[in-house]
Amino acid sequence: MNLNSERTPTSSKNSCSIEIKKILVAVSGGPDSLALLHFIVRFFPLQNIAAVHVNHQLRAESLDEETLVHDSCQTLGVDLFSRTIDVKAIAAERKKGIEEAARYVRYQCFEEVMQEAGIDQVVTAHHADDQVETIMMRLVRGSFSSGWSGIAPVRKLGAGQVIRPFLTASKSDILAYCQRQDIQFALDDTNEETIFTRNRLRKKVIPLLKAENPSLASQITRFAEETREDFTFLDEQAGELFEACAELENGGARLDLVLLKKAGIPLQRRVIHLLLNYLYKNETSYVSTQHIKQILLCIQGKNPSAVLQLPQSLQVRRSYEEMHFFFGETPVNREFYHALDVNERIHLENDMEIKLKAKSSVVQTAGLNGIILNQADVTLPLIIRNRMTGDRMTLKGTTGTKKSEGYLDRCESAAPFARCGTDYYGLYREHLVDTRRQTFRICNLTKSRTKTIYYSVYPKFRRK
């Protein structure tokens, strides 16, 4: 946005437009926000403008700044909504840093005032130098790659949006504008204290970069815009992949790793990021690049039953080609894998015994509690294991195949073994496969379509 313009501001590639309707201006009392307020008053109908000020009660000068904002709004004829919040108490309650808590409080107040005043857009005075500092901070701290695009010109806030029309203007442009318009403002002395990372970067690092390239702010603005466009495209692709491979359930989630691993690592990374944001309810402080890296290594690794422990008791467990996310010690299906040959038997943890017998004239099949397999269709040994993503079944009377996962989930309530041994799994979730990975169901609900009898499998329940 050009502060020297005498025309109503419009959108450009690196900025944003403000619709000519009610506008809420966030005003702290500093040069940036008061310049923004004056600029908005110059170009928009006065009856459409209101201001909001949040007194954080962090400094002795806070009351003086509130008075300055009140007087400025009164002089300009702008309605003011003022809020006073004990940020230190909020920080202690939420166990957050002062800066993070102050930002949380500000935007919460903005949203409340927007609802109260019937306004759906709030404008803030973030500028190009803020953009440089923000991107530098995120790079230094190792933020997720989407953070490299910096401060967005427009973002959602509740039912409305936040607009930052000054993102292409430098700090020096704003100070020059204040001088030309004779705008009185307050200065925050804490901006000079180098105990804060942002201040150290502003005072010690960024001057060195500007000495190398005086156009640093405009270059970073271009970088942020191009990066945002690239990441927006990737995020859209990741959203579609998320819908396809993630199943949200009871406060947790399940990932289909077969589908996920078909995508490139950048999309996998974003799907995991989306999922963690959902599980942590967008509390981004719990999500780090290191956590995402650990999950990716778990997905790509050879261990089919790896376990990860994440913050807030979030458990991540891989089960072959599925990955489960849940809080606390919620049980998930325990992995098992058994080989079974003729005349052998195995015992499962739910007190079930499974035997494989060769069919003979003395073997009775009436009321068989199992399945009957054709010798020609089976390669020994048979494997009894967990259901796995990608398993398919051929149903009796059909010629095609179905994903066993979806079919058995629909049939679950009718499965005769569903009520037995469900501490970790019910038998309806187990699969019997041969060494060629042909899949059968150990249940009389569905059978192989072959009618020739040779091998038979007899599941028997033994009660303790």
Q: Known binder of ligand: residue 423? A: no
Rg (CA), the chain: 32
Q: For residue 18, what are the contacts with CB-CB under 8 A and spacing of at least 6? A: 9, 40, 44, 121, 123, 163, 165
Q: Quote the Cα angle for 149-155-158, to 5°.
A: 145
What does the DSSP 8-state code read for residue 28? -
71 is in an annotated binding site: no
- 32 assigned to a ligand binding site: yes
Kindly write down the DSSP assignment for every residue of 29-96, as one continuous string.
SSHHHHHHHHHHHHHS-GGGEEEEEEE---STTHHHHHHHHHHHHHHHT-EEEEEE--HHHHHHHHT-
Adjacent-strand bridge partners of 339: 383
Residue with tokens 């042909």: 438
Q: Residue 251: CB partners within 8 Å, gap ≥ 6? A: 279, 326, 327
Is 28 marked within a binding site?
yes
Q: Does residue 12 come out as left (phi exceeding 0), alpha (psi in the -120 to 50 range) or beta?
A: beta
In contact, 283 and 248? CB cutoff 8 Å: no
Residue 181's identity, in one-letter code, is Q
Q: Is 30 annotated as a binding residue?
A: yes
Contacts of 433 (CB under 8 A, 6+ apart): 382, 383, 385, 391, 439, 440
Q: Look up residue 155 and give its amino acid.
A: R
Q: Please report the DSSP string for 104-128 in residue order.
A: HHHHHHHHHHHHHHT--EEE----H
31 labelled ligand-binding = yes
* C-alpha–C-alpha distance, residues 348 and 21, integer Å: 68
Q: Residue ranges for the binding site for ATP?
A: 28-33
Q: Residue ranges for the binding site?
A: 28-33
